[in-house]
Amino acid sequence: MADDDRRDARRPDPDALLALAEKDRRGKLTVFLGAAPGVGKTYAMLSRARRRKADGVDVVVGLVETHGRSETAALLDGLEVLPRRRIAYRGRMLDEFDLDAALARRPRIVIVDELAHSNPDDSRHPKRYQDIEELITAGIDVWTALNIQHLESLADVVAQITGVTVRERVPDIVLKRADEVLLVDLAPSELIERLRDGKVYLPESANRAVDRFFRLGNLTALRELALRRTADRVDDQMVDYLKQNAIDGPWATAERLLVCVGSDPLSEKVVRVASRLASGLNAPWLVVSIERADREADTPGHVQRIETLFRLAEQLGAETRRVIGNDFVDEILKLARREHVTQIVIGAPKRAGWRKHVKQALPEALANDAAGLGIHIVTPDSPSGERMRRPLALPRTQAWRQSALSAAGFVALTVLLGKTIDLFVDLPNISLLFLLSVLGASVTGGYVAAFLAAVLSALAYNFFFIDPQCTFTIAAPHEVFALFVFLIVAMIAGGFASRIRQQAEVAGLRATELQSLHDFSRKLATTEKSEDAIWLAVSQLQSRLRRNVVFLLARKDDLGVAAAWPPDTDLDVTDLTAARWTHDKREPAGRGTGTLPNSRFEFRPLLGPHGIVGVCGVEHADEPLDLNAERMLSAVLDQTAIALDRARLADETIVQAARLEGERYRDALLSSISHDLRTPLATITGAVTALRELGERMSAESRSDLLQSIEEESGRMSRFVANLLDMTRIEAGTLKPKRDWIDVTDVVQSAVERTRKHAPGQIIETSIATDLPLIRGDSVLISQVLFNLLDNAIKYGAGEPVNVYARREGKDVIISVTDLGKGIPPEDLDRIFEKFYRRGNPDGRAPGTGLGLSIARGFIEAMGGKIHAESPALRKRGTRIVMRFPGSAEARGNA
């Protein structure tokens, strides 16, 4: 057992091998990383490109910015440079990287400088690193350059060091996924000297750059950041190599971070600090936001800030999650234990003086209960600046007016009621009536109305009921204390009532959403067609979101609109391009995303269990979707994707069943032909060969027997071919029988005579009633049916007599054919009318293609009749095939 464990420990890490296999299918990204502009990143990149070009590698320059440096521009000689895309932007022409030209050229390596560059508005992607990601996905190697200050997680640190806020940023995950990171280093003093000599920027801007950014301290700090980040990347590559090759080495510790964020301004810094901490520890990290279960999610601005933080965290390489609960400490610790977290990162905003004495701060509560976990507390940059301001969510002017009116109305009613009671009864505790007004105002108007009602109730009680009345003066000291207690009790009661009202509203809203989703799921479960499922989803989303919705499905090689609301919704070129991108890349595109944000719609993929099944587009309005709408949208899209996938599988099942049925028929047909046509062909061939070789040496009787065999087998082959042609006519729907009046006696006698010629030794008994009416039909087809039935009865009748009966039953005419064979099992009575079905084992079966009864059913039903089988027919044996035709009003004798 120990040996097995040691062998398992030496096995390569499956996840590392899968990641390596995924990289092999993509292009390679090489990043030339520098501490600051001017260290020589572009120069080093072009120098390496010239060496690879000399080795015969297909290297193309997609875009290089020389910034007026002649020595850098000289390195472009001899390299193929793709033409740039000219774009009119704010009154001037820009030369931008042509992504489509690079994809069409498909070189082995393409150089795309300035990784952090932002593209113009009408570009497919807003950022150049997204262009590079598309090139890598297409299997093209990319070389690019990046300065350390453009990394997203270091933006706040760079701003502190240099005093300059960097606007163009690159997510850390881009550098983390790079296949190769080459550090281009230069001493800060040498860089400043190059700047002063005019080798970095143009001479007129050099002095300004030195004064603001290129200071010795700034460059030294940036150089340290670049060296540290490169060292972290090298360590990641070493760990990956050790895992892929099962080599014992200095493994990283199993750290895992949990990062707690909210909608406060400090949370962005918390995310960036956690990113740097996770990078230094080489640990995965989880960003979580906790929402209260007993109240509605805050304003759309709150939701938008959380979404922005989550996008930032995902760009930096984190996993994000939402948690619902009332006890934040308990929820955080439960999640930490469930995710095997070792360290928690949380912000500690400065709070007002009285707040810290009323309630313990969340970081302090975590520190008290988080046994065995490390707590990293992130504080604001300035000691007195960033505070956790959670002001009371005051309503707008109209809401204020409604709250005031509600409070005043309840207090006025209470005063009238109190005065009325005071006329008849002298009550010392009439102040309790005003509690009812506070509760009523809180239920109807919320906490603000409760607060106003409490204040107005105290004033009204003092003015109308405390001596001296009609003044705000209080004569008795104990009344002051009672009034003060009343005010506190009223506010507390009003607060509780308002809270209960808010919880009831939240519960009602969530119940409505759940019921809506339940109804949608129930309707969706009963749909069988994809069109019905899509229209259900469109109506559900449009009614809940109040926004235009469009669904697109793949049609041949392109996407087509399957449903939209309103139905006349048109998609322009940008919208369709974003939809195709979503379908091909299986990631969101359009408004609010990093791909084609100029589109009117945000497109999301419909991912089912077996892959993508379509694309949904939701038109963006001025306000983003709130949290409940986002949840509802995700749930509807997931269920719709499953329904579409189920409908697709059902269609494929039907097609597959038809294909299998066709293959079964084909196999049966080939088996019948190979067996049943080979025998007559062999007989005919043998007889012809004997006649040709022996000729006159054979007796006349022998020659007559051979010629008779040829005639019989030729007739059998002719019947086989006729049956196949008849079956083809029936299935193709081209069979159009005549509708003449037919004498049943003539048809039966004709078929019996034909059968006796075919089987001269067979006994066929007939019994035909004398009062049979005429029937409508095709005499040729009915005669063919009777012949097939008689031929089938002779094959399976074991040499016993075959009986044909024709009688009248009410207004119908019954014709039956009965044999005395061993009969048919009850479970096979319906199957005998199927194509290619024959009783008996394959090696001992009677000759025939198994089409006779199937053709008989087709002919009879085409003429408006019915046919069925009965077995046993007589004394536990035999089979009877019964045909029923509607008769005319006149009997045969009167016709």
Q: How confident is the model at residue 8 (pLDDT cuts 50, 70, 90)?
A: very low
Q: Could you tell me the CATH number of the domain that includes residue 751? A: 3.30.565.10
The answer as to whether 513 is a domain residue is: no
The whole-model pTM stands at 0.50
Provide mean pLDDT across the span 469-482. Answer: 63
The answer as to whether 251 is a domain residue is: no
Q: What is the pLDDT of residue 758?
A: 77
Q: What is the DSSP string of 810-860?
A: TTEEEEEEEE-SS---GGGTTGGGSTT--SS-TTTPPSS-S-HHHHHHHHH
Q: What is the pLDDT of residue 602?
A: 84
Q: How far apart are CA 307 and CA 313, in angstroms?
A: 10
Q: How confident is the model at residue 296 (pLDDT cuts 50, 70, 90)?
A: low
413 and 317, same structural domain? no
Looking at 446, 472, 503, the residue that finishes a domain is: 503
pLDDT 10s digits, 20-47: 555 567 889 999 998 888 888 888 999 9
312 and 428, same structural domain? no
The answer as to whether 857 is a domain residue is: yes
CA 831, 835, 839, 841 torsion-angle sign: negative
Looking at 503, 533, 568, the residue that finishes a domain is: 503
142 and 23, same structural domain? yes
The token duo for 519 is: 């109804």
Q: How far apart are CA 390 and CA 759, in angstroms?
A: 104
The token duo for 44 is: 């080093």
461 and 330, same structural domain? no
778 and 828, same structural domain? yes
Provide mean pLDDT across the span 616-636. Answer: 74
User: Phi first, then psi: what are they for 306, rounded to 5°?
Assistant: -65, -45
The answer as to whether 612 is a domain residue is: no
Q: How confident is the model at residue 404 (pLDDT cuts 50, 70, 90)?
A: confident
The token duo for 313 is: 């965290």
The answer as to whether 262 is a domain residue is: yes
The answer as to whether 619 is a domain residue is: no
> Percent of the chain having pLDDT more than 90?
5
888 and 787, same structural domain? yes
Q: Does residue 518 come out as left (phi exceeding 0), alpha (psi in the -120 to 50 range) or beta?
A: alpha
160 and 24, same structural domain? yes
CA-to-CA separations, 228 to 29, 37, 156, 593, 620, in angstroms, rounded: 20, 18, 17, 31, 42
Q: How far apart are CA 317 and CA 286, in angstroms?
A: 9
The answer as to whether 803 is a domain residue is: yes
Q: How confident is the model at residue 472 (pLDDT cuts 50, 70, 90)?
A: low
302 and 447, same structural domain? no
Q: What angle, rounded to 10 degrees, do the helices at 852-862 and 779-796 form?
A: 150
Q: What is the pLDDT of residue 15?
A: 54
pLDDT 10s digits, 486-529: 667 666 666 666 667 666 666 666 666 666 666 666 776 667 67
Residue 532 has pLDDT above 60, yes or no: yes
Range of the domain at 474: 397-503
Which of 607 and 676 is assigned the larger pLDDT?
607
Q: How far apart are CA 199 and CA 193, in angstroms?
A: 9
Which of 613 and 448 is assigned the larger pLDDT?
613
Residue 312 has pLDDT above 70, yes or no: yes
Q: What is the pLDDT of residue 207?
A: 54
Fill in the amino acid letter for 413.
Answer: L
Q: What is the pLDDT of residue 111?
A: 93
Q: Could you tell me the CATH number of the domain that includes residue 35? A: 3.40.50.300
Looking at 503, 523, 545, the residue that finishes a domain is: 503
The answer as to whether 392 is a domain residue is: no
Q: What is the pLDDT of residue 191?
A: 80
Which of 695 and 117 is assigned the larger pLDDT?
117
Q: How many separate domains does the chain show?
A: 4
- Closest-CA residue to 200 (of 217, 219, 181): 219
- Closest-CA residue to 456 (of 398, 412, 488, 419): 412
126 and 238, same structural domain? yes
* Local structure of 734: helix, strand or coil: coil
Pair type for strands 343-347 and 374-378:
parallel
- Closest-CA residue to 269 (of 167, 165, 381): 381
- Closest-CA residue to 118 (of 168, 175, 172, 62): 168
Q: Could you tell me the CATH number of the domain that includes residue 345? A: 3.40.50.620
Provide mean pLDDT across the span 50-67. Answer: 89
CA-to-CA separations, 69 to 41, 123, 198, 296, 319, in angstroms, rounded: 13, 28, 9, 59, 43
Q: Which of 291-300, 312-321, 759-768 has the lowest mean pLDDT?
A: 291-300
> Percent of the chain having pLDDT more than 70?
72
Contact 146, 225 (CB under 8 A): no
Provide mean pLDDT across the span 58-80. Answer: 86
Residue 865 has pLDDT above 80, yes or no: yes
Q: Rounded mean pLDDT of the chain? A: 75
Q: What is the pLDDT of residue 251?
A: 46
211 and 71, same structural domain? yes
Q: What is the pLDDT of residue 587?
A: 80
421 and 288, same structural domain? no
| Largest interatomic CA distance in the chain | 155
143 and 185, same structural domain? yes
Residue 475 has pLDDT above 70, yes or no: no
Residue 105 has pLDDT above 80, yes or no: yes
